Structure 1
Amino acid sequence: MLTGFRLAVSFLTIIPLYKKMAKNQELARSVSYYPLVGLLLGAAAAGLCVLLQRLGLTLGADALALAALIFLTGGLHLDGLMDTADGLLSGRDRSKKLEIMKDSRVGAMGVIAFGTMLLLKLSFLYELNSSLKITALLLAPAAGRWAMVYSIVRHPYARASGGLGAVLQGAGYAQLALASMFFAAAAFWLAGWPGVLITVTAALTAGVCTALIVKSLGGMTGDTYGATGEMVETWTFLIILLGQQAGLL
Structure 2
Amino acid sequence: MRGFLSALNFLTLIRLGPATFDGARATAAFAWVGLLIGAGLALLHWLTPATISPLVMVLYLVVISGALHLDGLCDSADALFSHRDREKKLAIMRDVHAGTMGVVAIVIVLGAKGVAFAHINTIAVLVLVPALSRFAMVVAMQRLPYARPEGLARPFFASERPGLVIPGVILLALAFFALPFGLFIGILGVYLTFLALILWWYRRMIGGVTGDMLGALCEVCEAVLLLAAVALGG
Q: Scaled by the length of structure 2, what TM-score is found?
A: 0.93
Task: State the shift of 1:141 in Å.
Answer: 0.6
Residue by residue over 1:48-98, the C-alpha shift from the partner in whole angstroms, topping out at 9 and shown as x without a partner, is: 22111xxxx224111101211110100111111110000001111110110
- The structure-2 alpha-carbon separation of the partners of 1:50 and 1:171, relative to structure 1 and needing over 3 Å to count, comes to farther
- The structure-2 alpha-carbon separation of the partners of 1:208 and 1:144, relative to structure 1 and needing over 3 Å to count, comes to same
- The structure-2 alpha-carbon separation of the partners of 1:179 and 1:60, relative to structure 1 and needing over 3 Å to count, comes to same
Structure 1 window deviating more from structure 2 (194-203 vs 39-48): it is 194-203
Report SS of the residue matched to 2:153: helix
1:95 aligns with: 87
Task: State the shift of 1:17 in Å.
Answer: 1.7
Gaps of 5+ in 2: none
Residue by residue over 1:89-123, the C-alpha shift from the partner in whole angstroms, topping out at 9 and shown as x without a partner, is: 11111101100001111111000000000111111
Aligned residues: percent identity?
Answer: 34
2-structure distance, mates of 1:116, 1:72: 20
1-structure distance, mates of 2:108, 2:134: 20
RMSD: 1.7
2:73 aligns with: 81
- The structure-2 alpha-carbon separation of the partners of 1:184 and 1:235, relative to structure 1 and needing over 3 Å to count, comes to same
Structure 1 window deviating more from structure 2 (185-194 vs 135-144): it is 185-194
**1:225 and 2:214 are equivalent in the alignment:** yes
2:31 aligns with: 35
Report SS of the residue matched to 2:232: helix
2:19 aligns with: 20
Among 201, 224, 234, the alignment partner of 1:235 is 224
- The structure-2 alpha-carbon separation of the partners of 1:173 and 1:203, relative to structure 1 and needing over 3 Å to count, comes to farther
Task: State the shift of 1:176 in Å.
Answer: 3.0
Read off the aligned partner of 2:137 and give its amino acid letter.
M
8 Å contact from structure 1 (residues 152, 171) kept in 2: no
1:71 aligns with: 63
Gaps of 5+ in 1: none
Task: State the shift of 1:182 in Å.
Answer: 3.0
8 Å contact from structure 1 (residues 184, 195) kept in 2: no
**1:140 and 2:139 are equivalent in the alignment:** no
Task: State the shift of 1:231 in Å.
Answer: 1.4
8 Å contact from structure 1 (residues 42, 141) kept in 2: yes
**1:176 and 2:164 are equivalent in the alignment:** yes
2-structure distance, mates of 1:87, 1:175: 33
Residue by residue over 1:201-221, the C-alpha shift from the partner in whole angstroms, topping out at 9 and shown as x without a partner, is: 212212211210121111100
Task: Report how many aligned residue pairs link the two structures.
Answer: 233
8 Å contact from structure 2 (residues 53, 118) kept in 1: no
**1:3 and 2:2 are equivalent in the alignment:** yes
8 Å contact from structure 2 (residues 24, 161) kept in 1: no
Q: Scaled by the length of structure 1, what TM-score is found?
A: 0.87
